[in-house]
Structure 1
C-alpha cells in the first residue's frame, strides 16, 4: 500500500512559502514551432478570417510576422477591393484631423484652459511662467486704475482675470495629481 506524504515544503513555517505557491504543476503552452521548447505566449492567425491560432514564442512570432501575407490567396481584384474598403474606413479619421488638440496633443489641458490661453494671446503649449507674465502685462495695461472711465478696458481686465483664474486652477490641479 502506497502512502502519500502530507508534509509541506515549508517544514511547518508557513511564512517561508511564497504567495499562491504550491506543489501543483502549472500548465504551460509550448511554442507551436517544431522543436521549440519555449512557452508559446504570442497568438498568430493560421489564415485570414479564421478564428484558429498558432501560439509561438516571441522569437518565432517575429519570424512568422515577417513572412505573413494578409492578402495571400486573394486575386488581384479581391486584394484591391479589400484594400480600398480598409482605406475607406480610415478616411474618416484623416478628415477629422483638424479637431485634434493644439500643441503637443497630450490632452493635459481642457478646452477652457485652451480658450484662456488664447485669450492671453499665447501658444497652446505655453508654460505657466509665460502665462503668468502675459497675465501681469495684460492686467497692467487694462487695469481700471490705469484707464479710469474706459469700459472696454474694464471688460478686457475682467476677461484676463478670469482666464488667469482658470489656468491657475488647472495648474494647481496638475501639481496635486498623483503621477
Structure 2
C-alpha cells in the first residue's frame, strides 16, 4: 500500500509557493510556420476584423513593419488624420525632452529623422557629425560657389533647414536634459 504524503500547507492552497501548482498550463504557440516561441502578441488578420493572429515578439515586429495605418485612405484624409494625431500627441512628444534620453535612443522626432536622412547620417548621429555633414554639403551647393544654379539653391535651403531642425532639437536636449 502506497503511503500518501501530506503537504505542509495544512490544506490551505494560498500558503503554497507561487508556481507550485501541478496542473499543466496552456501555452499558445506563435502562428508563424515552424516557430516554437510562445505566441503572446495578438495582431489583426484584417482591418476591423475580430480575428487575430498570435505571434511571438520577433514575428509580431516583422508583421507590424509592413503595416500601413493610412492604407485605403484618400491623401487628404490621411494628411488630416496624421495632423490630428500629431496635435493630440504633442504634449507627450514635448515631455520626451525631460527624460533621461539622448541621441539615438528613440527620442528623435520624425522631422529630425528626415533631416538626418537628408544630410546622409544615421539616426543615432551626434551633433558634431551633424555640423560636419552640414558644412560639407552646404559648401558643395552654396550660392556663392554655384551662382545662378536654381537646383543648388534649393538643395542649400533644404540643408540649412535640416541643420536648423537638428540644432534646435539639440538645444532643447541640452536645455532640458
TM-score by length of 2: 0.51
Residues 157 and 128 of structure 1: is their aligned pair in 2 closer, same or farther, counting only changes over 3 Å?
Answer: same
Q: Secondary structure at the match of 2:167?
A: helix
Residues 55 and 66 of structure 1: is their aligned pair in 2 closer, same or farther, counting only changes over 3 Å?
Answer: closer
Quote the Cα distance in structure 2 between the aligned partners of 1:172 and 1:148.
Answer: 33
Quote the Cα distance in structure 1 between the aligned partners of 2:160 and 2:20.
Answer: 57
Gaps of 5+ in 1: 1-32, 36-45, 47-53, 72-78
Residues 83 and 114 of structure 1: is their aligned pair in 2 closer, same or farther, counting only changes over 3 Å?
Answer: same
Counterpart of 1:96 in structure 2 is 64
TM-score by length of 1: 0.51
Counterpart of 1:145 in structure 2 is 144
Quote the Cα distance in structure 2 between the aligned partners of 1:105 and 1:97.
Answer: 19
CA-CA distance at 1:69 after TM superposition: 4.0
Structure 1 residues 5-53: Cα deviation after superposition (integer angstroms, max 9, x where no partner): xxxxxxxxxxxxxxxxxxxxxxxxxxxx849xxxxxxxxxx8xxxxxxx
Q: Secondary structure at the match of 1:129?
A: helix
Q: Report matched runs for 1:106-145 at 5 Å.
A: 106-145=105-144
Cα RMSD between the aligned structures? 3.4
Bigger relative contact order (CA 8 A; separation at least 6): 2
Aligned residue pair count: 111
Quote the Cα distance in structure 1 between the aligned partners of 2:21 and 2:158.
Answer: 58
Bigger radius of gyration among the two:
1
